[in-house]
Structure 1
Amino acid sequence: MSLITIQKSHNVSDLFILKSSLEHDGIKCFLLNEFTTQIMSHMGSFEVELQVHAADIDRVKEILAEVNQIE
């Protein structure tokens, strides 16, 4: 299965809330470079990427739209 990056950040904690919301709705999420950015935090070129399965992207877009309307 292919993965799609839906959001990037230099700080992994920025992605935890969104990851939690998606997982609450049954969407499996992955954090690419999660540990690399913690070890090499002094290098701004590394970003954590929140990824989901390509098959879940339509539901993810719905959830993101709902979250953005609340904020």
Structure 2
Amino acid sequence: MSLITIKESHTVSDLLVLKSRLESEGIQCYLKNELTTQIMSHMPTFMVELQVSDLDLERVKEIMKTIEDN
């Protein structure tokens, strides 16, 4: 299993709604660089990455498409 970044943002709060939705569907999510971004918020090069398992990627794409369509 490897992790795939599905969305990036400068702030964690931008990713929390999607993370919550995916977790409610039984998909485990990870926030890469969450603490680094909070500490180094003045540096725009740091991004929080929402990551999922490559095994869940197709299901994640379907869920994200459903969200975009609404």
Q: Give the structure 2 partner of residue 29 of structure 1.
A: 29
Match of 1:69 in 2: 69
Deviations 1:23-71 (A, max 9, x none): 000000000000000011011100000000000001001100110011x
Normalising by the residue count of structure 1, what TM-score does the alignment of the two structures yield?
Answer: 0.97
- Between the aligned residues of both structures, percent identity stands at 61
Within a 5 Å distance, the mapping from 1:3-42 to structure 2 comes to 3-42=3-42
Count of aligned pairs between the two proteins = 70
User: What TM-score does the superposition give when structure 2 sets the normalisation length?
Assistant: 0.98
Task: State the partner residue of 1:52.
Answer: 52
Structure 1: segments with no counterpart, 5+ residues: none
> d(CA) in 1 for partners of 2:68 and 2:46?
26
CA distance in 2, matches of 1:66, 1:37: 29
CA separation in 2, counterparts of 1:44 and 1:65? Answer: 28
Runs of 4 or more above 6 Å deviation: none
